[in-house]
Amino acid sequence: MDVITFGETMVLFSAPQILPLEYVHQFTKQIGGAESNVAIGLAKQGHQVGWFSKLGRDPFGAYIQKAIRAEGIDTSRCITTSEAPTGIFFKEKKSAESVHVYYYRKGSAASHLRPEDLDEDYIAQAKILHLTGITPALSPSACDTVFRAIEIAEQHGVKISFDPNLRLKLWGEAEARPVLMEIIKHCDYVLPGIEEGEFLTGETKPKAIAESLHKYGAGSVIVKCGPEGAFYSDGCGSGFVHGFKVKNVVDPVGAGDGFASGFLSGIIRGESLDEAVKRGNAVGAFVVQVDGDIEGLPTREELDNMVIGRRESVDVKR
């Protein structure tokens, strides 16, 4: 298995119209979850990926598992429970630049994840364990599960990648910062956004953010700077890779997850940090041009054509 990841995926109800939610009467049913977004992005690149969660024993839980499995991802370690429901969320678009998300996930099945839910042998055979900062924010038991997964990965030589994915609606700053920093010290690849890096370190410049995280124990640090591109550093060398121009931004949600999938694909394929970051930038550019968290993720052929040609713009035509 190339990558294993776990966390909460919810059913997404997306409004097809650009309207405030109170005026919307019909919704499109999709799925959305940071970890499963990354998993699907990697699967589309031809990698072997496993994703698991704790899902409600309800129609939404069944829908999520079937949808993710249909993307070629192993979901065999998913757990279902009758004790809690599958989470849902709604996406509101007032304009291409004004997208709001409303979550209904408190007490969800995924928040009941526990360390004993982990299959050590399953995690041990992966090349990379990918984590986000959302899962530890769900509940104390989910947080314990993340740290147990880190222990397993370290014991078996599995590399760890981590996207902080800061969600202050789930926990406060005082609680979030020390937990996220404790995770970071164990990670081989850390992928914060520029604002997340500032939150974690107090620094405002990508290079200073990376240097601060290196001092704390992080391996390679990739600071995502939105459409401008991303800065990378492995503690010995560093650089900045410019982003791809996008003519029409439809939905920016999920771009960071797309970046992570492109970056990890490059790492698995043995590319340099520079080349892997370039792949991440390209996937992010694809994602923002399509409505939905996963629908814009490119195939390997599409991504290779874009990256090898290093076109200055990405125009999705499907």
- Model confidence pLDDT, tens digit, residues 191-204: 999 999 999 999 99
Active-site annotation holds for 257: yes
What is the reported pLDDT for 197? 95
What does the domain layout of the chain look like in residue ranges? Answer: 34-51+115-314
What is the reported pLDDT for 315? 46
Q: What's the pTM?
A: 0.91
What is the reported pLDDT for 316? 43
Please pick, among 121, 257, 293, 315, the residue that the annotation labels catalytic.
Answer: 257
Assign domain 34-51+115-314 to a CATH class: alpha beta
- HEC profile for the chain? CCEEEECCCEEEEECCCCCCHHHCCCCEEEEECHHHHHHHHHHHCCCCEEEECEEECCHHHHHHHHHHHHCCCECCCCEEECCCCCCEEEEEEEECCEEEEEEECCCCHHHHCCHHHCCHHHHHCCCEEEEECCHHHHCHHHHHHHHHHHHHHHHCCCEEEEECCCCCCCCCHHHHHHHHHHHHCCCCEECCEHHHHHHHHCCCCHHHHHHHHHHHCCCEEEEECHHHEEEEECCCCEEEEECCEECCCCCCCCHHHHHHHHHHHHHHCCCCHHHHHHHHHHHHHHHCCCCCCCCCCCCHHHHHHHHHHCCCEECCCC
Residues of the chain falling short of pLDDT 50: 312-318
What is the reported pLDDT for 305? 79
